[in-house]
């Protein structure tokens, strides 16, 4: 079974990625070791993927909380509900939370685990492409605040990641495509070979070919695990994983959480970040348009919504990467390599947010 390790000294953990993991009771017993487990999932995931875990874990699975689905749930009200469930079911420090679902369930459950009794174990069992290639790895946990995305959160690493790629068979097409945005992000910031490979696999990706998709999961997890191992709490290099996100988080928040899917907003945000990279002279038009063409080929939105520039600036000012001296933005130095820039002029920023890709022929 493909297995990677996120190397973080005493917080190191494995990423298991394979088809059929949720049907392997022995594996689940060995990996989910804590004696009392509280599972969190949502209303779309539960009917498909809760039963195998219930079967495998028996009475050790004390309770399953089934939340309404969607980004609008990623808030303090839902978090409080999770604390109530943890209290009601007397989950102590020898217990663990299981996050069965997409990035919303993962971020919420992880943050509940970070807070509960000042830190309780949790495991990520991601069921969306986006969560398998990105959100389940790295220990960023959070809820949204009305004024900004993921503003309330903690770094809290899971004990394991169990990515059963078979769960993607029930994922709606729009959600699958949103996950592809984070795959493209990993390629643009860190792996030119992956970019070339994705360009050569457009048909398979659009057909959701299981082997191609599984390879995306492994390759992205490998990239993300390496970045996180180098800089767990985003003191420096980890910020490259935020490529396109300064713009994406404005789109998600200003349009109302859930209107744009996170991955869709990341795609439109990356189109702007590609243009910014071009403006700074790091890549040429051809490089910019190559990234945008791949997103279009995979039917991702590349046109950010028309928000007035003050809305952009106000929301961006609350980005977690901003410091007293101003915004920090992630740009490409070249295709396949990114860096953090704290010196982007307001003129370049305003021109970037006003720019949109040319219409397709
Ligand atoms: N912590 C991180 O490092 C990180 C990284 C990227 C994104 N995120 C966060 O992740 C969230 C987005 O995650 P997402 O795209 O997984 O969204 P999501 O969790 O909302 O899941 C997408 C939708 O698919 C449904 N679903 C999930 N798995 C399914 C399955 N197997 N079959 C059928 N339906 C299924 C869900 O119910 C939901 O409606 C955002 O809040 C984003 O900020 C976090
Ligand atoms: O893991 C990271 O680091 C990332 O930035 C991954 C992003 O894809 C993800 O959307 C993350 O939640 C954004 O974090 P934030 O710190 O900008 O809220
Ligand atoms: Zn993201």
* Helix and strand counts by DSSP (H, E) for the chain: 14, 11
Assess contact for 51 and 61: CB atoms under 8 A: no
Assess contact for 136 and 163: CB atoms under 8 A: yes
Query: What's the confidence (pLDDT) of residue 132?
Result: 98
Q: Is 186 in the pocket of ligand 2 (CB under 6 A)?
A: no
123 flagged as catalytic: no
Question: Which two structure tokens, joined as six digits, stand for 65?
Answer: 């909380």
- Mapped onto helix, strand or coil, the DSSP state of residue 70 is coil
Mean pLDDT, rounded, for 305-311: 96
238 flagged as catalytic: yes
Instruction: Classify residue 70 as left (phi > 0), alpha (psi -120 to 50) or beta.
Output: left
Nearest to 273 by CA among 243, 300, 293, 310: 243
Q: pLDDT tens digit string along 243-254?
A: 999 999 999 999
Query: What's the confidence (pLDDT) of residue 124?
Result: 99
224 flagged as catalytic: yes
Nearest to 177 by CA among 19, 296, 46: 296
Q: Would you say 127 is a known binding-site residue? A: yes
Buried b (16+ CB within 10 A) or exposed e, 61-74: bbebbbbebebebb
Closest ligand, as measured to the CA of 321:
2
Q: Is 120 in the pocket of ligand 1 (CB under 6 A)?
A: no
Residue nearest to atom 12 of ligand 1 (CA): 103
Band of the pLDDT at 2, cuts 50, 70, 90? low
Is the per-residue pLDDT at 361 higher than 80?
Answer: no
Place of tokens 């933005």: 329
Catalytic residue among 156, 249, 278, 288: 249
State in Å: Cα 43 to ligand 1 middle: 12
Is the per-residue pLDDT at 130 higher than 70?
Answer: yes
Q: Which of 168-172, 210-214, 258-262, 323-327 has the lowest mean pLDDT?
A: 323-327
Place of tokens 């009771």: 25
State in Å: Cα 140 to ligand 2 middle: 7
Catalytic residue among 140, 219, 222, 288: 140
Query: What's the confidence (pLDDT) of residue 1?
Result: 57
Q: Give the mutation target among 20, 51, 102 for probing the ligand 1 site: most ligand atoms within 8 A of CB.
A: 102
Our measurement of the distance from residue 215's CA atom to the centroid of its chain's CA atoms, rounded to an integer in Å, reads 17
Q: Is 264 in the pocket of ligand 1 (CB under 6 A)?
A: no
48 flagged as catalytic: no
State in Å: Cα 249 to ligand 2 middle: 10
CATH for 173-354?
1.20.1090.10
Band of the pLDDT at 3, cuts 50, 70, 90? confident
How do the domains of the chain map onto residue ranges? 3-170, 173-354
Q: Give the mutation target among 190, 245, 253, 266 for probing the ligand 2 site: most ligand atoms within 8 A of CB.
A: 245
Catalytic residue among 71, 182, 232, 275: 182
Q: Could you give the ipTM of this predicted complex?
A: 0.99
88 flagged as catalytic: no
Measured CA to CA, the distance from residue 136 to residue 13 in angstroms comes to 12
Q: What is the mean pLDDT of the chain?
A: 97
Catalytic residue among 159, 245, 279, 328: 245
The CATH classification of domain 3-170, taken from the options 3.40.50.1970, 3.90.1200.10, 3.40.50.980, 3.20.20.120: 3.40.50.1970
State in Å: Cα 75 to ligand 1 middle: 14
Q: Give the mutation target among 75, 104, 217 for probing the ligand 1 site: most ligand atoms within 8 A of CB.
A: 104
Is the per-residue pLDDT at 309 higher than 80?
Answer: yes
Query: What's the confidence (pLDDT) of residue 360?
Result: 85
Band of the pLDDT at 290, cuts 50, 70, 90? very high
DSSP character at residue 69: P
Catalytic residue among 177, 186, 219, 224: 224
Mean pLDDT, rounded, for 86-100: 97
Mean pLDDT, rounded, for 329-334: 98
State in Å: Cα 264 to ligand 3 middle: 10
Assess contact for 154 and 114: CB atoms under 8 A: yes
249 flagged as catalytic: yes
Mean pLDDT, rounded, for 277-301: 98
Measured CA to CA, the distance from residue 269 to residue 255 in angstroms comes to 14
Mean pLDDT, rounded, for 261-268: 98
Is the per-residue pLDDT at 349 higher than 60?
Answer: yes
State in Å: Cα 266 to ligand 3 middle: 7
């Amino acid at each position: 079974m493909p297995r990677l390790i996120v190397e973080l000294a005493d917080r190191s953990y494995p990423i298991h990625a394979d088809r059929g993991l949720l049907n392997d009771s022995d594996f689940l017993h060995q990996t989910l070791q804590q004696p009392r487990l509280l599972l969190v999932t949502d209303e779309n995931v539960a009917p498909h993927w809760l039963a195998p875990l219930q079967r495998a874990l028996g009475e050790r699975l004390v309770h399953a909380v089934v939340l309404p689905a969607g980004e609008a749930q990623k808030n303090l009200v839902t978090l409080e509900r999770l604390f109530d469930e943890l209290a009601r079911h007397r989950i102590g420090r020898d217990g663990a939370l299981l996050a069965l679902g997409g990035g919303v369930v993962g971020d919420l459950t992880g943050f509940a685990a970070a807070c509960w009794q000042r830190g309780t174990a949790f495991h990520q069992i991601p069921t969306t492409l986006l969560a398998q290639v990105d959100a389940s790895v790295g220990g960023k946990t959070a809820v949204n605040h009305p004024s900004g995305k993921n503003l309330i959160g903690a770094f809290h690493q899971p004990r394991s990641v169990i990515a059963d790629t078979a769960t993607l068979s029930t994922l709606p097409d729009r959600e699958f495509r949103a996950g592809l945005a984070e795959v493209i992000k990993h390629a643009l910031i860190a792996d030119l070979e992956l970019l070339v490979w994705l360009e050569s696999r457009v048909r398979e990706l659009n057909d959701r070919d299981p082997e191609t998709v599984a390879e995306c999961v492994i390759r992205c997890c490998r990239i993300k695990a390496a970045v996180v191992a180098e800089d767990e709490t985003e003191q420096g290099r980890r910020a490259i994983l935020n490529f396109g996100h300064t713009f994406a988080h404005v789109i998600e928040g200003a349009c109302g959480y859930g209107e744009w899917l996170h991955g869709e907003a990341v795609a439109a945000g990356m189109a702007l970040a590609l243009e910014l990279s071009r403006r700074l002279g790091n890549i040429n038009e051809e490089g910019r348009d190559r990234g945008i063409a791949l997103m279009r080929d995979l039917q991702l939105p590349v046109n950010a919504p028309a928000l007035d520039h003050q809305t952009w600036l106000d929301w961006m000012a609350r980005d977690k990467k901003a410091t007293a001296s101003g915004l920090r933005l992630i740009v490409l130095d070249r295709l396949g390599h990114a860096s953090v820039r704290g010196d982007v002029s307001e003129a370049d920023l305003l021109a970037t947010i006003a720019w949109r890709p040319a219409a397709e022929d």
